[in-house]
Amino acid sequence: MPRLSADERREQLVEAAIRVMIRDGVARTTTRAVVTEAAVPLGAFHYCFRSKEELLQSVIERIMERALTPVVAQPEDASAYDVIHATLHAYWDRVRERPAEHLVTYELTQYALRQPGLADLARKQYRHYLAINSAYLESLARTLDIHWTVDLPVLARHGLSVLDGLTLNWLVDREDAEATAALDEFARYLTSLARPNP
Amino acid sequence: MPRLSADERREQLVEAAIRVMIRDGVARTTTRAVVTEAAVPLGAFHYCFRSKEELLQSVIERIMERALTPVVAQPEDASAYDVIHATLHAYWDRVRERPAEHLVTYELTQYALRQPGLADLARKQYRHYLAINSAYLESLARTLDIHWTVDLPVLARHGLSVLDGLTLNWLVDREDAEATAALDEFARYLTSLARPNP
DNA sequence: GTCTATACTGTGATAGAC
DNA sequence: GTCTATCACAGTATAGAC
């Protein structure tokens, strides 16, 4: 058993925890399952983290970092609808490719909400998602030379909710056709809110 | 300790489980916590239910029954927007009155999704919610003598997702003003999809 | 038919050995 | 500074007393 620094151990444990969560769910992610997955001795766990809650906090932060700003090709000649549609489907493709990872996101949010010390982190997580949505909508408006007929914060929250809700719904029933249809309708709606700049 | 019938015990245990879940969350709802809350002997638990999973199944079914069809006053002289707005806010008021209960709903869905024997129940739950939404949209169309310019199943799914997403988002950050604004925007959107019948 | 007493597993955590 | 051995407890489930 190689002796590694606490920082390296922490790194191993966080990544192992994420793998276990994706495979078995957050509820079944015990400290023992994590150290087994990481091939780290059990005792090392509480040497690296004060508690399981502290590990989960690191996991949430790590996952948040990975929710990178959606990058979308925005060719000059594409219509607003085309660009919006492509962006939404880029997100959707990621959901369909890795359903378990997205399920974990929701599980972690709820875990955090029930853990007094972590409720703030959940709020921060959602502020982050809202900021990403806002930034995307703003950059879209610049690129297309339009403005939105609905206030940006309201639109960002509405958009985040639609994607969150559709994702959750699809994770339950896996109805591809209906989910896609609802997503396309959302693209149409967003497009209808774009007005050319004067 | 009075000796009661298994049916009465089951009833007590299901109701107690719901109270514990609302108070402490699904993850912390252990059999011991439930029997303590219900003032039922621990041994009685496994006499009434084969396992904890079976209890949770009953709980999910009970909660599903309670998600009654939204009933909304639809006075003849109200505009489409007024009726839609009132319905959405009736739902929203329930969320704001009992946030913990709604959080439990999401927790239960995820619990069910991770439990092989209960995944079907989660699907059934969402089909039920979709059916409620569809029925409401249909009755609205009849009352207002309009039709929807988007297919009913698509619209029902979209609507369910928006409400699910907004609820989840609000449960995290409790931003009343922004949530209400997003809800009102959704009402405006729905209204824009109503076309008078020929 | 209903409940008491108990078994056994697995959990998060720690004191102290290396 | 890192990990082994062990703890106390909570978890579900059961065999058998009433």
What are B48's two structure tokens?
């009434």
- What CATH fold (topology level) applies to the domain A6-49? Arc Repressor Mutant, subunit A (1.10.10)
Percent of chain B with pLDDT over 70: 94
Distance CA A119, CA A112 (A): 5
Rg of chain B on CA atoms, in Å: 20
Q: What's the farthest any 2 CA atoms get from each other in chain B?
A: 68
Average pLDDT, integer, range B89-98: 95
Contact A173 B25 (CB under 8 A): no
pLDDT score of B156: 97
- The residue extents of the domains of chain B are 6-49, 60-196
Which residue in the set A111, A154, A162 is minimally distant from B162, CB to CB? Answer: A162
Q: Which residues of A touch B (CB under 8 A)?
A: 24-25, 27-28, 103, 106-107, 109-111, 113-114, 122-123, 125-127, 150-151, 153-155, 157-158, 160-166, 168-169, 171-173, 178-179, 181-182, 185-186, 189
**Binning pLDDT at 50, 70 and 90, where does residue B68 land?**
low
Q: What tokens were used for B10?
A: 């089951």
Q: Check if A6-49 and A60-196 are the same fold.
A: no
Task: Specify the CATH number for A60-196; select among 1.10.10, 2.60.40, 2.40.50, 1.10.357.
Answer: 1.10.357
Distances from the Cα of A55 to the Cαs of A27, A62, A76, A87, in angstroms?
14, 11, 45, 33
CA distance B4 to chain A (A): 34
The number of residues making up chain A comes to 198
Q: Is the pLDDT of residue B69 over 70?
A: no
- CB-proximal positions of chain C, under 7 Å: 1-6, 10-16
Token pair of A63 as six digits: 């996952």
b (16+ CB within 10 A) / e for B139-153: ebbeebebebebeeb
How confident is the model at residue A170, as a pLDDT? 98
Q: How far apart are CA B141 and CA B135, in angstroms?
A: 10
Distance A44 CA to C15 C1' (A): 14
Are residues B87 and B133 in contact, defined by beta-carbon separation less than 8 angstroms? no
Q: Specify the pLDDT at position B66.
A: 84
In this model, does residue B28 exceed pLDDT 80?
Answer: yes
| pLDDT of B6 over the 90 cut | no
- pLDDT value of position B73: 62
CA distances from A193 to A189, B164, B177 (A): 7, 22, 21
pTM, 2 dp: 0.93
C-alpha distance from A170 to closest chain B C-alpha (Å)? 10
Give the closest-approach CA distance of B164 to chain A in angstroms. Answer: 5
The pLDDT value recorded for residue B8 is 87
Which residues have CB under 7 A from strand D?
A: A 1-6, 9, 40-44, 47; B 28, 30-33, 42-43, 45-46, 51-53
Strand partners, A194: A148
pLDDT average, residue stretch B12-29: 94
Q: Looking at the partner chain, which of B111, B123, B182 has a beta carbon nearest the beta carbon of A161?
A: B182
Q: How many CB atoms lie within 10 A of CB B163?
A: 20
- Which residues put CB within 7 Å of chain C, the nucleic strand? A 30-33, 42-43, 45-46, 51-53; B 1-6, 9, 40-44, 47
Query: Which of helix, strand or coil describes residue A146?
Result: strand
Residue contact A168–B111, C-beta within 8 A:
no
Are the beta carbons of B60 and B112 closer than 8 angstroms?
yes
Confidence of residue B105 (pLDDT cuts 50, 70, 90): very high
Residue A73 is predicted with a pLDDT of: 62
3-state helix, strand, coil in chain A (%, to 5): 75, 5, 20
d(CA B133, CA B112): 22
pLDDT at B70: 62
* pLDDT tens track, chain A, 198 positions: 566 777 888 999 999 999 999 999 999 999 999 999 999 989 889 989 999 999 999 999 999 988 766 666 666 677 889 989 998 999 999 999 999 999 999 999 999 999 988 999 999 999 999 999 999 899 889 888 899 999 999 999 999 999 999 999 999 999 999 999 999 999 999 999 999 988
A62 CB burial (10 A radius; 0-12, 13-18, 19+): middle
Q: Identify the residue among A108, A149, A168 best suited for mutation to test binding to B, counting B beta carbons within 10 A and taking the highest.
A: A168
Higher pLDDT, B4 or A1: B4
Give the gap in angstroms from C-alpha A173 to the nearest C-alpha of chain B: 5
Strands (E), chain B: 146-148, 194-196
pLDDT, position B185: 97
In 3D space, the residue among A113, A148, A118 whose CA is nearest the CA of residue A133 turns out to be A148
Task: State how far the Cα of B12 lies from the Cα of B8, in Å rounded to an integer.
Answer: 6
Q: Which pLDDT value is given to residue B71?
A: 63
Q: Could you tell me which of B64, B65, B56 has the C-alpha nearest to residue B26?
A: B56
Instruction: Suggest the residue from A148, A158, A186 to mutate for an interface test with chain B (most B CBs closer than 10 A).
Output: A158
pLDDT of residue B187: 96
What pLDDT was estimated at residue B116? 86
- The residue in chain A having the minimum alpha-carbon distance to the alpha carbon of residue B109 is A172
